[in-house]
Amino acid sequence: MRPPGHRGVPTTRPALLWLLLLVPLLGAPRGVAAGTGAPAELRVRVRLPDGQVTEESLQADSDADSISLELRKPDGTLVSFTADFKKDVKIFRALILGELEKGQSQFQALCFVTRLHHNEIIPSEAMAKLRQKNPRAVRQAEEVRGLEQLYMDIAVNFSQGGLLSPHLHNVCAEAVDAIYTRQEDVQFWLGQGVDSSVFEALPKALEQADLPRCRQVADRGKPCVCHYGLSLAWYPCMLKYCHSRDRPAPYKCGIRSCQKSYSFDFYVPQRQLCLWDEDP
């Protein structure tokens, strides 16, 4: 187990970068393990919060009881979300392309792991049945849910991550030294029987607010508090139920779509690991 907080500057992996550039805009998300049958996939065109349109891939595996979502932002960042209903875990991953002219690595990966509440998104079996009549239509969320701000004060030990969720090794393979979670979620998972070896405490200085924000630090070798934000532009968050004179009980007749943004704050041992966090 590596000491908490000792995370080096990510090395460049040209082969992986070429893989990201050569695959289609959205390859099959890697966060969902196949069950006895192939996961069901749905591709939709969605409108991002800034008004631009991108393609989003959603996969559901009812055997593994999991869902994944993946989209590419206009700046090239690849964002994925995995919901593991069996383990009450959700995983956010961002593959951020660097700016070589600024001396940045070709890409940097981040993973944020939090507790999944089952009312956040529709069940995997319902997601697997979704179809769309007009694939060219641009989808816009019916409901914009409030920004969720998360303070990530615990690191996840990648080598033990499979004990938390079997999807973590696959989803976070490029973010071995940058997988974060929260103390309150850790307490829940420990109560569910997850081994404590999965988690590593980050430096207490962050908790005491002794460290400056990375955007305020000029020295790239200094530790600081990094910020990263991401948004799920469109996802099925609720099932709709209809009533009919011919049916005594309400029946499922569609889905309600949502948009939700997340803001993550977390410790980095070097400003170099948070070069996107700059003053607006």
Tokens coding 66 = 């999991």
Of the listed ranges 25-29, 34-38, 70-74, the least confidently predicted one is: 25-29
Whether 226 is covered by a domain: the verdict is: yes
Q: What's residue 280's pLDDT? A: 55
Query: Cα separation of 168 and 174, whole Å?
Result: 11
Strand order in the sheet with 143-152: 143-152, 247-268, 224-244
Residue 11 lies in a domain: no
Q: Is 4 inside any structural domain?
A: no
- Residue at 168 is within a domain: yes
Q: Is residue 164 part of a domain?
A: yes
pLDDT, position 243: 85
Residue 8, pLDDT > 80, answer: no
Highest mean pLDDT: which range of 6-10, 36-40, 103-107, 127-131: 127-131
Nearest-angstrom CA–CA distance, 137 and 130: 15
Supply the pTM of this predicted model.
Answer: 0.82
Does pLDDT of 28 surpass 80? no
Q: What residues make up the domain containing 140?
A: 43-274
Least confident range of 34-48, 152-166, 236-250: 34-48
Per-residue pLDDT, averaged over 206-230, amounts to 86
Q: Round to whole Å and give the CA distance between 169 and 176.
A: 9
The whole-number pLDDT of residue 132 equals 84
Mean pLDDT of 253-269: 93
What is the pLDDT at residue 54?
Answer: 93
Q: Give, as one character, the DSSP assignment of residue 187.
A: H
Q: How far apart are CA 42 and CA 160, in angstroms?
A: 32
As a whole number, mean pLDDT of residues 158-162 equals: 96
Specify the number of domains making up the chain: 1
Q: What is the mean pLDDT of residues 153-174?
A: 96
- Of 126-140, 204-218, 235-249, minimum mean pLDDT range: 204-218
Is the pLDDT at 35 greater than 80? The verdict is: no
Q: Note whether residue 114 is domain-resident.
A: yes
34, part of any domain: no
Q: At 183, phi and psi to the nearest 5?
A: -60, -40
The answer to whether residue 133 scores a pLDDT higher than 90 is no
The answer to the question of residue 120 being in a domain is yes
